[in-house]
Amino acid sequence: MSAEWAMVIGLEVHCELKTTTKLFCGCPNMFGDEPNTNVCPNCLGLPGSLPVLNQRAVELAMAIGTALHCEIRPSTFHRKNYFYPDQAKDYQISQYDEPINVDGHLDLPDGFRVGIERAHMEEDTGKTTHSGASGRIHGSDYSLVDYNRSGVPLVEIVSCPDMRTADQARAYVTELRAILVASGASDGKMEEGSMRVDANVSVRRSADDPFGTRCEIKNLNSVRSLGRAIEYEADRQIALIEAGERVVQQTRHWDEGAGITQALRSKEDAYDYRYFLEPDLVPLVPDAEWIRAVADTLGMMPAERRARIVDLLDEAGGATDSALLQVATVVDLGLDDLVVEAVAGGVGSALALARTANEAATDAEAARALDSKSYVELLTLEASGSLSATQAKAVLAELFVQGGGDPAAIAREKGFEAMSEDSLAAMVAEAVVAHPDEWSRYCDGDDKLAGFFTGLVMKATKGQANGKAVASELRRRRG
């Protein structure tokens, strides 16, 4: 993008709520099941069926609102009317002019604040698969509809048009995803469609100009696609304007393969959704006590949790860029409590963070299930030199397999105990006696031979010896 142009970006994120059942009926909210098995008269839109609002979905929506610093207010549901085969009733029940959450914000890791206009509840549609080359409804031979997703609860989070770069948009989605996961509202799986992003993009000559005409980009299935699509779209709009043409307000489809956006429909063809108040539901008026109860169940949000780990590093002077990446990883995987407890148990913060971000992270689910006491004990053994890094990793793997246990006992079972100071000294002595020439050269000051002896000990112990301990024993023996 040429330097004098400025971008304006607003994002709409649809998030599937992690409820057991759907928004308006008792059908399982489950991804990946046999098509049309999680359905009932309600989510199939059968005549005579009526919606009943899922209380848990409301609580998760309020949790999102709380996490995004929104005002939670009395709200209503409307009908959004349009014909489409995967829409069981040919209308979607959605909050419209009275959403449950309004006027919040989200702070990016670098401190940039993005306004949240609203976060409202609505139901998902079914899923249509069009046979034929195009993969779109036009020109397909036939279409298959799966209503398992019909009625799955969604919250649509609409940002203010506050972002100015594709990087900010990426950071926003990454951070929002972390917040949704941390609040327990969503599993944040973009690849499974449980989080879907639409981007509104416009350009202007300078940041002081009024907003230009925007286009909405759909079908963004990853953070990477989002960034690429925004940059492509901004370039397209700039090229249009520089060529003396005008940007037409459109909805555009991101083609991941071709790396371009294509027009779906323009404003003139936009549907008239004929919104009106859903007469089958009553207003939703959460009282202060309910709102407070939901807020009380909300844990720490990612930003706060990252800051907590960075504080530990700062004390040790270790908040480097690569450490910050590790911090993001442990928070993202929900392993930050392990780091905090290890440091509290006397383990150095650099070691605690590195082991958690690199090793524990390889099986985050098992690590989250681990009794943190065992984890702290393990890191303490490594920090004290009783276990080598390699041994510590092997014990951790065993802790994962067993779902916990006593690290010292596991180390003994694995024969790691042989590496106590006495046996190490004996191993070193054995190596020295077997190679008298090398030993006398080492004693004469040829320090390179320390590596030779260490190698012998490592070989004899199949790599289980602590290299530092071997070196220190060699130095002690030389005197």
What are the residues binding other proteins (CB under 8 A)?
Answer: 41, 44-53, 79, 81, 83, 85, 88-91, 137-138, 143, 145, 272, 274, 276, 279-282
Nearer to other proteins, 211 or 276 (CB): 276
First to last CA, the chain: 67
Is 81 or 472 the residue whose CB approaches other proteins more closely? 81
Q: Half-sphere exposure (CA, 13 Å, Cβ side) for 324? A: 8
How near is the Cβ of 39 to other proteins at its closest, in Å? 10
In angstroms, give the least distance from the CB of 163 to other proteins. Answer: 30
| Beta carbon of residue 281, minimum distance to other proteins (angstroms, whole number) | 5
Backbone phi, psi, residue 45, to 5°: 65, 30
CA–CA separation, 175 vs 106, rounded Å?
A: 8
Residue with smaller CB distance to other proteins, 128 or 221: 128
Q: In the complex, what is the shortest distance from the CB of residue 155 to other proteins, in angstroms, rounded to a whole number?
A: 20
Write the CA distances from 231 to 4, 87, 223, 420, integer angstroms: 15, 33, 13, 59
Q: How far is the CB of 43 from other proteins (least distance, A)?
A: 11
Closest CB to other proteins among 280 and 315?
280
Q: What are phi and psi of 318, to 5 degrees?
A: -120, 25
In the bound state with other proteins, the residue whose beta carbon lies nearer, of 91 and 172, is 91
The beta strands (E) that lie in 176-231 are given as: 195-204, 215-220
Bridge partners, residue 71, by sequence: 102
Q: Taking the complex as a whole, how short is the minimal distance between the CB of residue 383 and other proteins, in angstroms? A: 58
Beta partners for residue 276, in sequence order: 79
The DSSP H or E segment spanning 304 is helix 302-316
To other proteins, the closest distance from the beta carbon of 170 in angstroms equals 35
Q: Which CB atom, from 279 or from 317, has the smaller least distance to other proteins?
A: 279
Cα–Cα distances (Å) from 238 to 12, 198, 245, 326, in that order, read 23, 20, 10, 38
Nearer to other proteins, 54 or 461 (CB): 54
Which of 398, 466, 7, 41 has the alpha carbon at shortest distance from 237? 7
Which region holds residue 39: left if phi is over 0, alpha if psi is between -120 and 50, else beta? beta
- CB of 119 within 8 A of CB of 157? yes
Our CB check for other proteins shows the closer of 4 and 141 to be 141
Minimum Å gap between C-beta 280 and other proteins is: 5
Residue among 50 and 248 whose Cβ is closer to other proteins: 50
- Minimum Å gap between C-beta 81 and other proteins is 5
C-beta closer to other proteins: residue 242 or 280: 280
The Cα–Cα gap between 442 and 448 comes to 8
Instruction: Quote the tokens at residue 258.
Output: 């071709």
Q: How far is the CB of 285 from other proteins (least distance, A)?
A: 13
Degrees (nearest 5) of the Cα angle 369, 29, 11?
A: 90
Q: How far apart are CA 45 and CA 40, in angstroms?
A: 8
